[in-house]
Amino acid sequence: MTAPKALVAGNWKMNGLTASIDQINRLNDLISQNGANCDVLICPPYTLINAFSKLATDHLSIGAQDCHFNISGAHTGDISAAMIKDLDARYVIVGHSERRADHAEDNETVKAKAEAAQSIGLNAIICVGETEKQRDAGQALEVVTSQVKASIPDQSVVENTLIAYEPVWAIGTGRTPTESDVEEIHNAIRQVLNGRFGENASQIKILYGGSVKASNAHALMSVPNVNGALVGGASLKADDFYGIISAYDQIG
Ligand code: PGA
């Protein structure tokens, strides 16, 4: 089976104000003028989803960075998957390492959030990744595969499930794993998905994230079983982000 269409996703984290809509307009201009050989997603903070959704196109989708595991209720300050869907967003990131660390989210919580997102019709991007200490101890494969197994909801289907492998030590540091390390982990994730979803598992996108930028995108995105990128810092400026998108001009 052929590889799924790649997805280059931008995670804006806690960045962006109303004026940042200029970046979305610029991104749409760059894509319509020069094309995109992959799908593109921007996950801004909640405050910008409504405005950005109005600029979504066939090439550009909008998503959120987190959601609550309940669909509604007494959870002051939280945002539900239903609210995100209501703004025409299509994806939600769950289990980003910054959420796992800052908000003590464990695999069980991440799984419940992914389940809430998928139950309402959103695609869940489930993030996994080892810390530097775990990699140095030779535990990266074991940590990542057990996170994948424990974070995917029972009801997930191939169409609404994505995995993002983001080594914690590579996020925002300018450091990346070697291509062979990325390949090893992505292959192991694919094996877990094969066991779980059968032959259609090849259609689940496994994104790589952690210090992806225009200059390393081609090499990282060419690794087998890498079906796109989850990009933090380099997604904030449309021209930088388009440099990553255009890496796909030279990839299948
Ligand atoms: P980075 O962040 O590209 O700034 O390293 C990636 C992420 O956290 O998703």
Q: What tens digit of pLDDT does each residue of 51-90 get? A: 999 999 999 999 999 999 999 999 999 999 999 999 999 9
Flag whether 128 is in a domain: yes
Flag whether 232 is in a domain: yes
What is the band of 244 on the pLDDT scale with cuts at 50, 70, 90?
very high
pLDDT score recorded for residue 2: 85
54: which DSSP letter?
T
Q: Pick the residue with more confidence: 252 or 131?
A: 131
Q: What tens digit of pLDDT does each residue of 211-224 get? A: 999 999 999 999 99
Cα(33) to centroid of ligand 1, in Å? 27
Residues 165-178 have a mean pLDDT of: 97
Q: What tens digit of pLDDT does each residue of 185-206 get? A: 999 999 999 999 999 999 999 9
Flag whether 70 is in a domain: yes
Question: Which among 171, 173, 220, 240 is the best mutation to test ligand 1's pocket, defined by most ligand atoms within 8 Å of the CB?
Answer: 171
Flag whether 216 is in a domain: yes
Flag whether 71 is in a domain: yes
Q: What's the CATH number where 14 sits?
A: 3.20.20.70
Q: Does 164 contact ligand 1 (Cβ within 6 A)?
A: no
Say how many domains are in the chain.
1
Residues 101-115 have a mean pLDDT of: 97
Please state at what angle helix 214-221 crosses helix 238-245, rounded to 10 degrees: 30
End-to-end CA gap in the chain: 14
Residues 87-107 have a mean pLDDT of: 97
pLDDT at 183 over 80: yes
pLDDT at 46 over 90: yes
Which structure tokens are listed for 38? 């992959």
pLDDT score recorded for residue 219: 98
Q: In sequence order, what are the beta bridge partners of 113? A: none
Domain limits for position 147: 7-249
**119 φ/ψ angles, rounded to the nearest 5 degrees:** -65, -25
What is the band of 119 on the pLDDT scale with cuts at 50, 70, 90?
very high
Q: Does 174 contact ligand 1 (Cβ within 6 A)?
A: no
Flag whether 2 is in a domain: no
**Percentage of the chain lying above the pLDDT 70 cut:** 100
Among 131, 161, 133, 134, smallest CA distance to 149 is for 161
Mean residue pLDDT of the chain comes to 97
pLDDT score recorded for residue 228: 98
Work out the number of other CB atoms within 10 angstroms of the CB of residue 51.
Answer: 15
Cα(175) to centroid of ligand 1, in Å? 11
Flag whether 151 is in a domain: yes
pLDDT at 1 over 90: no
- The CA-based angle 219-145-108, given to 5 degrees, is 120
183 is catalytic: no
Of 98, 105, 130, 166, catalytic: 166
Please state at what angle helix 179-197 crosses helix 214-221, rounded to 10 degrees: 50
pLDDT at 252 over 90: no
Flag whether 1 is in a domain: no
